[in-house]
Structure 1
Amino acid sequence: MKKKLISLLVIPILCLFAVCSFHFVKADTALGMVQVNLHTDGRLESSDVLKNMPITLTSTTDASQTFTLTCEDSSNVIKTKKTIPLGDYVVSFQLPENYVTLSGVYTNGPRTDTYVQNGNVVTLNQKFAYNMIYINIKEREEPQPVEKYGKVEVNLHTDGKLVESGVLKNMPVTLVSKEDSTKTYTLNCQDDSNRAELENVPFGEYIVSFDIPEKYEVLDGKVGSGVMGNYLANGNTITIDNEYAYKQLYINVTKKEAPQPVVKYGKVEVNLHTDGKLVESDVLKSMPVTLVSKEDPTKTYTLNCQDDSNRAELENVPFGEYMVLFDILDGYEDLGGTYGVSGTYMHSTDTITIDNEYAYKQLYINVKEKKEAVTDNGSQNPESNENASSSNDSKKQESKDLNTDKKKSKSVKTAVFVNSLFFVSLSLFTGILTILFYKKTKKS
């Protein structure tokens, strides 16, 4: 009974062992190894390209069964262990930027393999050796445009003519690319020819840029002398499209003429009054009147009297405001006041306006002779005292001279009286002697 029970237990155990043995053998025989080699232009080169482009194998029979192969170094080679079941797989990968895949055949001795493209199917059918996958890439070469270059010449005209001068030398002309404004080409004139040229300017559209020197301005119009085209202005666009002949640029300038202000002129007359009356004397002749421009004090105009009329006049005085300046002569003082109905007498530093070119601008100044002022206590100022002292001295001298003259006159009169008395006495004495002598003679 026991033996029969043991035999019954052994049978399931043997069956389980057989099933397990079959499963492990089947799994081992179904796994394979894979090696990926990334070539660049047909050669295996060390770089980090494969490290940045993982390879994915997706089963053709079970899309959920995928295996991603990555490179851990810069060898551009991936090796796996026996972890991938044998079968057909779609190869997929993402190329790094600036790379493209190359097709063709890889030959290494007796071994020949076709380079795999993204999306190709490979078959893993070796369980004891690496299944080799070769991918060939190269750097993408961007096609370089064929650059063409032209020549440019600029001609600067003055009033439509090419005149030698230093103008263009002081106004470089710059071409700014419309496609790339960082690309500029400048034409510099080295002499006084007013021509400048430049070669090797790439084909394209350009904005012409220049600054006109001070005292000049741009003129437009057609270019003469058989040349087709218009004169250029700053900011115009040109096209360089000829590599065999100069692209001609013409710029026309003219010299600015600063507009001259229209200056109008007036007439001025000054009249010097004494106590409100125009009296002929030489006072104004000795006190010229000056007009000083308030806008420009360096501009002055002087009225000089040439005679004793106390009138002076001056024409061609520019319109504007003026300060009137004059100095009163010694012995005179400024009276001021109102002159008739026409205005007020002027003082030095007063302001007048010249604004009439057809009639005289009349100026009136009023003066009077100074009189010595006596104070309440009878004293005078130092100057008056000095004058008074001088006057007193004169009067004393005159009085002294008069007394002297009186004394002299009295002396003369006394002398005349004594002489007369002497002659009268002498005559009487002589008469008496004559009478006495006559009587004596008669007696005898």
Structure 2
Amino acid sequence: MKPTPEAGIKDINRAIVLRPLSVATDAARDGEARLLEAVGLAQALGLDVAAAEAAPLRQISPRTYFGSGRVERIKDDAERLGAGVIVVDAPLSPVQQRNLETDIGSKVLDRTGLILEIFGLRAQTKEGRLQVELARQGYERSRLVRTWTHLERQRGGLGKTGGPGETQIELDRRIIADRIVRLKRDLEDVRRTRAMQRRARSRAGLPAVVLVGYTNAGKSTLFNRLTQAGVLAKDMPFATLDPTARLVKLPSGRSVVMSDTVGFISDLPTELVAAFRATLEAVTEADLLVHVRDIAHEDSHQQRADVMAVLAQLSKDAGGKSPPVLEAWNKIDQLDAATHDARMRRAQSLEQGGAPALAPVAISALTGEGMDALLAAIDRAAFSATRIITLTLAPGDGKTRARIAAIGRILEETSDDDGAITLKAELTVEDAARFAPAEPLPEELRPAAE
């Protein structure tokens, strides 16, 4: 039993979690499920959740988000429970966050701030840290609303300052703006490196298969099962943040490059989508997406909708690029026998319904059930994908041009003064590998010497 804190003493690691409920935001989603998700996020940050509540909200207060009566109750609960942190599972404006902290006397984290804190805790690689820091700086820039005591300091003098703290805010904004410029420059280098690696894999004829899904759906467990990569896999949101890529051998003897990615979540903060552009590009550049679903989760259908919404936005940002999606219905080991059998029959019936390559596959990444069926489905789907290549043919090499036109589709064609022909063509993955110049694989993807 947890000790009761002394009156008036608050623990910065103890939190109250509030999920605002309104007709506008919760018509399509069970409020209790969202509350449980918010609790999971708080616990992923290492917070001791002393209380959690779904808080009905008739209208949003511009000053404190909640009404005055609710704010007073939150303050009383925070003092009684010794909660030094109030987690509000909703986006708060800087003014609302500041006023809540002042009125309650505890630190307030909104949904974006909470996810940013988790990402900061999880990032291990240089790329991950850069992306998290970029997202954090963008978030903090909007929070410069004279909320901190150091903002009362003045720089300069001579009667040219407009009010207490104004010039300090301007200085802070300039510092953050400079950091953002440096971070974006560093991340641009990361994007170029990733683009070169993707081209090398493409030229080697290796389709790119990317695991996507709602956070905590089991992507990393599946990735480890298929690759023995040893990626962190825990039952918590955002256990994986840094992307990892490994070779996976398929039943046909061919191989694909499989990547694990950060989990998606409902209401994914825009700061994160923008900052993680270098990582999320792998999604739109993939030849196949494997959507890992927690089929045992009571909110699985809504989680699927959230993931598809993020994929649609990424596709739009990438100019309409949209790789085919294969669903892996994970965690069937957590279902009772009747539901388990029903899920298996449903997946098999869909496979026989006309699109076997993209029919869902029921699996358990934990026990290994369904792995052979999943690898076979990936084999079929990945190598039926197409790839666009550009190559230059020698003058008079009409034979090669005719072969390309026969097995693929020529999108653009130009010739120079010497008669050399440059083609832009869409071919299957295998055909593209035969016609495009071969390049060595990135070192981290080469098979280890026996």
Q: Do both proteins adopt the same fold according to a TM-score greater than 0.5, normalized to the shorter chain? A: no
**Which of 1 and 2 has greater Rg?**
1
The interval holding the TM-score normalised by the smaller chain is under 0.3
Structure in which a larger fraction of residues adopt helix? 2
Structure in which a larger fraction of residues adopt strand? 1
- Give the TM-score normalised by structure 1: 0.15
Q: Which has the higher contact order (CA 8 A, sep 6+)?
A: 2
